[in-house]
Amino acid sequence: MVCKRITHPDGSVAILCTRGAGGRRQRCGRCGDPADYLCDAEVVKPGGTQGTCDAPLCRAHAYPAGPDQHRCWLHEREYQQAAQGGG
């Protein structure tokens, strides 16, 4: 997710966030190709709110995580390690 700080002429400030389609195309965090997907892994954001990782991912680096769901390489690795047990 890309967030932009907008200051209105009257001095009030708004934070504008874009996700997925619309706005500028994001780039894959791994290789820099145009990102078609965002990581859907659930994470706890700073401040304790629940959200999704939202790492931009190209076709090659979006690991399938279910119907219309994808994972970044970091969360894929976490998932693989968890799936192997090890604890």
- Contacting residues toward Zn ion, per CB under 5 A: 28, 30-31, 33, 39, 41, 53, 55, 58, 61, 72, 75
**Beta strands 56-57 and 37-38: pairing type?**
antiparallel
Q: Which two tokens stand for residue 44?
A: 């706890």
Residue nearer to Zn ion on the CB measure, 11 or 46 = 46
Residue nearer to Zn ion on the CB measure, 9 or 46 = 46
- Written as one letter, the residue type at 57 is L
Strands (E), the chain: 2-7, 13-18, 37-38, 42-44, 50-52, 56-57, 63-66, 69-71
Residue nearer to Zn ion on the CB measure, 23 or 51 = 51
Whole-angstrom distance, CA of residue 75 vs CA of residue 4: 26
Residue nearer to Zn ion on the CB measure, 26 or 75 = 75
* Minimum distance from residue 5 beta carbon to Zn ion (Å): 24
* Minimum distance from residue 60 beta carbon to Zn ion (Å): 5
* Minimum distance from residue 51 beta carbon to Zn ion (Å): 11
